[in-house]
Amino acid sequence: MEPEKEGEQKTISISSEGKINTPTETPKITETITTPTSTIPSRVIRTFESDIATAMKEKKGSVIKIAIAEQTKKSSEKEIEGKVSKRNYIFLGLTLISILGGLGFIGFVVWQKIGNEIAPIEAVVAPLIAAEKQKEIEITGLSESKIIAKIDEEMGNRTLRLDTIENIYLTETIGETKEAMAKEPITTEKLFSIIGARIPSVLLRSLGPKFMLGVHVFNGNSSFLILKTDFYENAFLGLLKWENEMPEDLLPPLGVKLTNENRYLLDVGFRDITIKNIDSRAILDQSGKAILIYSIPNKDTIVITTGEDTLSEVVNRLNAPQPTIK
């Protein structure tokens, strides 16, 4: 075997069956052999670079587009927010205006109502004797039975202190217009009309318009009625004529309820008695206690009461200066 010369190369081939064929002689390889693969890498590199550049361009374009879109979105949101805020301010303003308008309307209605409902001028009542307390009973629009019930309720007032007198005065509202309305104490004639008293006309004509209805607290509650007269003789004559009906007319309004047990008092009749040097006429119960008393302690005053101690106290106050009403 000849030695291999420098520059010679053996050509190895692979058959289709996968066998390696080694020729005995290797043909000379000329310099003109070119491999097309030398151009492939550059073409691949250029394509890769081109793709990257394109992608960068596209990405850059996308970023710019995204940034522009984002800025546009923010501007739109600010614009919308501005519109919403403006709309909210307008709505808030309209709401406040509506509330203030409503309050103004309500205030106007209340003011008109108060203006139309002018309170009647209060009655100033001076009691005929000194009284520690005063109680007003407004009778306007009340039926006679309700008025009597209110009087009876006050006659039984258990909150009054011992040895005190309460003046109970009845008032009614008069006046054709609201501006002219005023409260006034009722007259004696009105009182007897309310309670349905069968008072003789000779007595009624001799009585003045002022009276005092009250309760005295001593040994329990005792009621009294003070009448003023300017005609003593007719007043005394009228009282005598009234004696038959007086118990039934006056006992219930003065707080003495008529029952089956005490109804006999209507037929007992009055008799003369003296109570602490005061000449009087009275109806006595079965125990001798005075249940209904009337007296004329002076020429212009009549006192009717349900208790002896009350008669004495009322007469004492009639003769004494009147202290300041508490």
Q: Per residue in 178-189, pLDDT tens?
A: 555 788 999 999
**Domain limits, the chain:** 37-117, 133-318
Q: Which residues of the chain form beta strands (DSSP E)? A: 13-14, 20-21, 133-138, 164-174, 182-185, 207-218, 220-229, 271-275, 278-284, 290-298, 301-305
CB atoms within 10 A of CB 123: 17
CA gap 132, 110 in Å, rounded? 38
User: What local confidence, expressed as pLDDT, does residue 310 receive?
Assistant: 97
Report whether 210 contacts 190 (CB < 8 A). Answer: no
- pLDDT tens digits, one per residue of 53-104: 565 555 555 555 655 656 666 666 555 555 556 666 676 777 878 787 777 7
pTM exceeding the 0.85 threshold for the entire prediction? no
Residue 200 has pLDDT above 90, yes or no: yes
Segment 213-262, tens digit of pLDDT: 999 999 889 999 999 999 999 999 999 999 999 999 999 999 999 999 99
Name the β-bridge partners of 304: 225, 294
> Which two three-digit tokens encode residue 137?
């009973």
Distance of CA 165 to the CA centre of its chain: 36
pLDDT-derived band at 40 (thresholds 50, 70, 90) equals: very low
8 Å CB contact between 182 and 140? no
Helix locations, 117-199, DSSP H: 144-155, 188-195
Q: Which positions ≥6 away from 24 have C-beta within 8 Å?
A: none
pLDDT at 78: 58
- Which of 269, 264, 226 minimizes the C-alpha distance to 246? 269
pLDDT mean over 116-128: 66
Mean pLDDT of the 275-287 span? 95
Alpha helical stretches, state H, the chain? 39-116, 144-155, 188-195, 201-205, 232-242, 246-250, 265-268, 308-318
Q: Count Cβ atoms below 10 Å from residue 178 Cβ, excluding itself.
A: 12
Instruction: Determine the Cα–Cα distance for residues 131 and 163; give it in Å rounded to an integer.
Output: 11
pLDDT at 110: 61
pLDDT reading at 168 higher than 70: yes
Q: What are phi and psi of 31, to 5 degrees?
A: -75, -10
Q: pLDDT at residue 44 above 90?
A: no
